[in-house]
């Protein structure tokens, strides 16, 4: 976790205090149910909750000191709680194993992290929709291979991003369900010393579903899927970030990140206005992607579990969710305040001397009876002249002078093919598909 790429709400989720609070709640809920089942005295849970209602400060340093001796974090925590609550605390954790607590806690943390990320996605979707509507018919050149292709609208670009992040949201909702499970199944998952009803009860209290079959741990294919899903979302962030970086290039300059008063682009070159936010997002996307790998390697734990996944999750649990939260929020800000330059878009669109209309001429020629091969050759021949003139020549003018074209198409038919609005007739249909 890099502090400058972290926001408080998500960061707090991963701090020791937050973790211990969840540990306590799991233990107390379990003790509650164990009391109802008659396994432990009902007074035990009462003692725990009574203490909890005093809003006790979690003394992280004291717990750490105990762990330094036991080398076991859950035992250290239970010992500390027992010191606070007194004798009744000995009934805590009956029939449970550490992983019951640790894995269910991770589920709660990832579930809450997902709620934040889903809200982030909603904000991003809102910004994208708003700017897409604003630029629904702002004409701009579509590019394939970085080369001018045919006209699109800037709204379509944003609508595409909207649809992509909407898919990301669906994926994240599915991934969240994957990891929101609770396991209170004992040392090797057999419920040997704990009634499955305890698991069901704790799951309900925490908004989780019971894990159908656990070993000592909740199986790590769930987490692999979760972090892989975050990696896919990172890919979509990178895509939109790269789009904006391209649009802000000096020669293109169709859009720009907002440049605040007082901001400096370069220590050496006062004229610079750089797309630093989206470049920054590109790097963050690389990190979030990288975190999926160790999550995938974590799946193949030995037998009923080994603990190799644990150190990995101490890194990627916070790092992936905190960074993604930051990145989504940053991207939302970029979109929200993006400076869009429709005039420059039009200027770029026009700079190719009408080459962007080449396909329509090609189609018109074939429909007028010219073979596809001939039509292609005719248009390419004229297009290459325009290309080599760097936009000084006009495709329409050249075509008007081409005998083979004139034989097939009238001047009016030809001019009609150079109509920009023709390209946007389906924009409304597409918006309907995307925004419903």
**Could you tell me if 156 and 134 are in contact, meaning their C-beta atoms sit under 8 angstroms apart?**
no
Interface with its own copies by CB under 8 A: which range of 108-116, 123-131, 261-269, 405-413?
261-269
- Is residue 228 close enough to count as binding its own copies by CB under 8 A? yes
Provide the minimum distance between the beta carbon of 206 and its own copies in the complex, in angstroms, as a whole number.
19
For its own copies, give the closer residue by CB, 163 or 340. Answer: 163
**Is residue 130 part of the contact set for its own copies (CB under 8 A)?**
no
Binding residue (CB under 8 A) for its own copies from 54, 302, 403, 412:
302
φ, ψ of residue 141 in degrees (nearest 5): -80, 135
- Residue 91 engages its own copies in binding (rule: CB under 8 A): yes
> Are 176 and 111 in contact, with CB atoms under 8 Å apart?
yes
Tokens found for residue 398: 């050249």
- Asked if residue 368 binds its own copies (CB under 8 A), the reply is no
* Shortest Å, Cβ 389 to its own copies: 12
Candidates 84, 205, 346, 366: give the one binding its own copies (CB under 8 A). Answer: 366
Identify the residue among 38, 53, 55, 250 touching its own copies (CB under 8 A): 250
Q: Measuring CA to CA, which residue among 242, 230, 270 is closest to residue 334?
A: 242
Least CB distance from residue 412 to its own copies, whole Å? 19
In the list 59, 279, 336, 350, the residue contacting its own copies (rule: CB under 8 A) is 279
The reply on whether position 152 binds its own copies by CB under 8 A is: yes
- Taking CB under 8 A as the criterion, the residue among 10, 128, 218, 312 binding its own copies is 312
Which residue stretch of 26-34, 50-58, 119-127, 357-365 sits at the interface with its own copies (rule: CB under 8 A)? Answer: 357-365
Which residues are part of the catalytic machinery?
145, 266
71: left (phi over 0), alpha (psi -120 to 50) or beta: left
Q: 181 φ, ψ to 5°?
A: -120, 155
Nearer to its own copies, 49 or 191 (CB): 191
For its own copies, the binding residue among 60, 290, 329, 368 (CB under 8 A) is: 290
Residues 6+ apart with CB under 8 A from 131: 155, 158, 335, 336, 338, 340
Q: Both tokens of residue 211?
A: 């894990």
Specify the residue, 55 or 278, whose C-beta has the smaller distance to its own copies. 278
Please enumerate, as own/partner, the contacts of 39-45 that have beta carbons within 8 Å and a separation of 24 or more.
39/94, 39/95, 39/195, 40/91, 40/94, 41/88, 41/91, 43/88, 44/88, 44/89, 44/91, 44/92
d(CA 179, CA 115): 13
Q: Which residues, numbered 153-212, are part of the site for its own copies (CB under 8 A)?
A: 156, 159-160, 163-164, 167-168, 171, 174, 178, 186-193, 196, 212
């Amino acid at each position: 976790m890099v502090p400058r790429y972290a926001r408080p709400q998500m960061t707090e989720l991963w701090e020791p205090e937050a973790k211990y609070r969840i540990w306590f709640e799991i233990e107390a809920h379990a003790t509650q149910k164990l009391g109802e089942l008659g396994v432990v005295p009902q007074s035990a849970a009462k003692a725990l909750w009574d203490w909890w209602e005093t809003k006790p400060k979690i003394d992280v340093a004291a717990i750490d000191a105990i762990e330094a001796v036991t080398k076991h974090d859950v035992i250290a925590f239970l010992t500390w709680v027992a010191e606070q609550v007194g004798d009744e605390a000995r009934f805590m954790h009956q029939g449970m194993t550490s992983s019951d607590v640790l894995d269910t806690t991770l589920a709660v943390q990832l579930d809450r992290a997902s709620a934040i990320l889903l809200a982030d996605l909603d904000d991003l979707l809102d910004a994208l929709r708003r700017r897409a509507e604003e630029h629904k018919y702002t004409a701009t050149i579509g590019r394939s291979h970085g080369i001018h292709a045919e006209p699109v609208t800037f709204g379509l670009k944003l609508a595409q991003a909207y649809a992509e992040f909407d898919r990301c949201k669906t994926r994240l909702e599915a991934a969240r369900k994957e990891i929101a499970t609770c396991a209170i199944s004992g040392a090797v998952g057999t419920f040997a010393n704990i009634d499955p009803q305890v698991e069901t009860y704790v799951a309900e209290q925490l908004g989780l579903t019971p894990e159908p079959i656990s070993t000592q741990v909740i199986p790590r294919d769930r987490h692999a899927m979760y972090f892989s899903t975050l990696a896919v979302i990172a890919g979509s962030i990178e895509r939109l970030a790269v789009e904006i970086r391209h649009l802000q290039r000096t020669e293109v300059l169709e859009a720009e990140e907002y440049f605040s008063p007082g901001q400096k682009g370069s220590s050496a070159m006062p004229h610079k206005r750089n797309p630093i936010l989206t470049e920054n997002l590109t790097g963050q996307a690389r990190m979030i992607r990288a975190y999926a790998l160790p999550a995938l390697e974590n799946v193949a734990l030995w037998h009923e579990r080994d603990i190799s996944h644990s150190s990995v999750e101490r890194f990627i649990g916070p790092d992936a969710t905190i960074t993604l939260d930051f990145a989504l929020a940053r991207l939302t800000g970029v979109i929200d305040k993006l400076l869009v330059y429709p005039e420059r878009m039009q200027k770029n669109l026009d700079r190719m001397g009408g080459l962007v209309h080449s396909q329509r001429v090609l189609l018109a020629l074939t429909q007028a009876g010219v073979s596809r091969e001939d039509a292609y050759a005719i248009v390419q021949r004229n297009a290459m002249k325009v290309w080599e003139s760097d936009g000084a020549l006009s495709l329409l003018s050249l075509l008007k002078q081409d005998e083979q074209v004139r034989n097939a198409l009238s001047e009016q038919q030809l001019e009609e093919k150079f109509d920009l609005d023709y390209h946007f007739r389906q924009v409304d249909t597409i918006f309907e598909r995307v925004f419903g």
